[in-house]
Amino acid sequence: MIQATFTSGWLSVILALAAPTHTLTVGSSGAAFRTIGAALNAAQPGDTILVSPGLYREKLVIDKPLVLRGIDHPTIRGDGRGSVITIVADHCTVRGFRIEQSGLRLEDNDAGILVKSDGNTIADNDLSSILFGIYLSAANGNTIVRNRIEGRSELDIGRRGNGIHLWNCAGNTFEENVIVRVRDGIYFDHADHNIVRRNRIERSRYGLHYMYSNVSLFEENLLYGNYAGAALMYSDELTFRRNVFFRNRVGYSALGVLFKDCDRSLAEQNVIADNGVGLFLDNSMHNLFRRNLIIGNDAAIQLFSSALDNTFTENAFIDNLSPLRLVGRRTTTHWSHQRRGNYWDGYTGYDLDGDGIGDLPFRIQNIFQYLEGRHARLRLYLYSPAAQALAQAEALFPVIEGSNERDPFPLMRPPSLDLPDRIWPSHPQRRSPSPPSAFFSLAMFGASLTILWREHRR
């Protein structure tokens, strides 16, 4: 039955391509049709519909393979109910339109473009005043490129739709889309084998929200100014390469990349900069983090003891307030691979043999950073003079056993990154935290001594 359906589907496409095709025109003067809907009804499979500039107050259903192309971005405006364009035929193209005024019912998946078919191309469109931007439902092998999607900023962020939403899909490609002010930039739900490349997602909740989906490539994307750059959950075998997660510190999350129950994935050559927490790992195993630049975050890594057998090698940790926030006393993290550790700007060891690797291991957490991971109220004072004094005193006169996380082969110089400049924000700025006042530093110092004494008594 499945084979018969597949064969008949491709047979219809082949017959459509073999049949003579026509170009139908839509517009106010000299065109064959005044409305796009009328042209769709008259079109045959394989035809092209050219739409002249103007405002078209219509809701469209595309139920045959054809090309719908706008000239100078005509506007298709819905009536505020349901989806503006619904594609149910395979191998359609929608290119070059402004699309606006979908419905507002999340439970009905109201969207600018609703796709329920395979092999379509949606390109060069501008979608605004919509709930979901582009919604793919059981839709495979589609190409979504160079669209701009802006959500309804007047709605609370939890009531907005996602910029691009996938459910029960496979093999879709998303390239060079710009998505702003939506709930989640691109949301994946049971959607495998995707390519997500050179997209820019800003001022949303999660830039990428990835659930129960496996084996996808994320490359050269910019996730900027969101609650969290990417939230990866219950998924395996993902590849993140040459992305920028920058200044995601809005609201309660403030995360660069979150790994939750996410296994056997690769993150390499990424820039994770100026986030509340750069990398957050919980119950995730056998992931490899290689040659990433993790810079200017409040905490470079927040690591739960449930995250097992993850490997960090040839990464650069620079100018983070804390290199590691450990939840739990021990982890099974590997801080090197094949005798290549990571670069830590706090490492003060030496390299007598000149091989570029420090001769002494690097203790990743000092005692105050260890305490801060267990007592969140100390976080305010993390970089204060008193915290530095406490860490130096503990190094000379150990009182309690802290974290045992050590990089056995720390690098003396950061590795180079091959990252395209054009995916950076226009004017990136370095975070410059203000030091707490002397009064608060003294108060923190007293509180820290009390905690140290209690830890020693345990």
Contact 371, 448 (CB under 8 A): yes
Question: Where residue 29 falls among pLDDT bands split at 50, 70, 90?
Answer: confident
Can you give the pLDDT at residue 413? Answer: 97
Q: How far apart are CA 453 and CA 458, in angstroms?
A: 9
| Helix, strand, coil abundance in the chain, percent, nearest 5 | 15, 35, 45
Amino acid at residue number 87:
I
Q: 């500039």: which residue's tokens?
A: 53
The amino acid present at 302, given as its one-letter code, is Q
Residue extents of the structural domains in the chain: 19-334
Q: What is residue 422's predicted lDDT score, i.e. its pLDDT?
A: 64
Q: 112 phi and psi, to 5 degrees?
A: -65, -50
Answer with the residue of higher pLDDT: 103 or 446.
Answer: 103
Instruction: Note the CATH architecture for domain 19-334.
Output: 3 Solenoid (2.160)
Question: Is the Cβ–Cβ distance between 234 and 261 less than 8 Å?
Answer: yes
Q: Check pLDDT > 90 for residue 132.
A: yes
CB atoms within 10 A of CB 28: 9
Closest to 253 measured CA to CA, from 197, 322, 184: 184
The per-residue DSSP string of 404-444 comes to: --EESS-BSSPPP----GGGS-SS-----PPPPPHHHHHHH
| The pLDDT of residue 120 is above 70 | yes
Helix residue ranges, H only, 253-384: 367-374
Contact assessment for residue 341 and residue 412, using Cβ atoms and an 8 Å cutoff: no
Q: Tell me the two tokens of residue 62.
A: 């595309």
Please say whether the beta carbons of 291 and 269 come within 8 A.
yes
Span between the terminal Cα atoms of the chain, in Å: 68
pLDDT score for 251:
80
pLDDT in tens, 297-348: 999 999 999 999 999 999 999 999 999 999 887 899 999 999 999 999 999 9
